[in-house]
Amino acid sequence: MRILGLDPGTVRMGFGVIQEEGEELKLLSCGVLTAARSDPLPDRLYALYSQILELVSYWQPNALAVEEPFVAKNVRSAMAVGQAEAVALIAAAHFGVPAFTYSPRQVKQSVADYGGGSKEQVQEMVRVHLGLSYLPEPIDATDALAVAICHSHHLQEQRLIMVNDQIESSL
């Protein structure tokens, strides 16, 4: 299973591609997609959309996982990030790739075992989950890898539930 994780933004969008190999996760690629801050929002969203299409076309993921925007004090900013999230979901639909969204708390809980973990804790746990000798950077890419890992964990839980249901139904 190949998973493309995205940490949406309207100027910088982190991405991370991981591959499940049995019980292990392997880092295939990570980085940041960018759009010119000086461009109007529609142009930035289109630039990001085009780059996501290139990523999906190249890596051919089996799933796309996107972090939902965090709404705190700046609702306007959260709405713009929500539009970037929508662009990612539309790109997935363009290729028929199943797309999944996770809240920041779900991602942190899954990766760092604590829903209120710091960026540094998440970065360290991404390193551990992927068996890396270095901290993945930049932080936008780390966040995207965390979303991909979260989705992998979600799939593992679903597989365990299916196996448990099969065992119970055969008893």
Domain residue ranges of the chain, discontinuous segments joined by +:
2-170
C-alpha to C-alpha distance for 93 and 107, rounded to whole angstroms: 22
Q: How confident is the model at residue 76 (pLDDT cuts 50, 70, 90)?
A: confident
CA distance 77 to 10: 9
Mean pLDDT score, 98-110: 95
Element (DSSP H or E) covering residue 100: strand 99-102
- The verdict on whether 143 is a catalytic residue reads no
Give the separation between CA 7 and CA 1, rounded to whole angstroms: 20
Phi, psi at 126, each rounded to 5° = -65, -45
When pLDDT is cut at 50, 70 and 90, the band that residue 71 belongs to is low
* 57 vs 171 pLDDT, higher one: 57
Indicate the fold that domain 2-170 takes in CATH: Nucleotidyltransferase; domain 5 (3.30.420)
Q: What is the mean pLDDT of residues 80-94?
A: 95
- What is the 8-class DSSP label of residue 133? S
One-letter amino acid for residue 69 of the chain? P
- Catalytic: which of 120, 140, 143, 157? 140
pTM (2 d.p.)? 0.91
Q: Can you tell me the mean pLDDT for 63-71?
A: 90
pLDDT (average), residues 126-155: 95
Catalytic residue among 7, 68, 85, 143: 7
Exactly one of 67, 68, 85, 143 is catalytic; name it: 67
Evaluate if residue 72 carries a pLDDT over 70: no
Catalytic-residue membership of 7:
yes
Summarize pLDDT for 3-16 with one digit per residue, the tens.
999 999 999 999 99
CA distance 113 to 122: 9
What pLDDT is recorded for position 164? 65
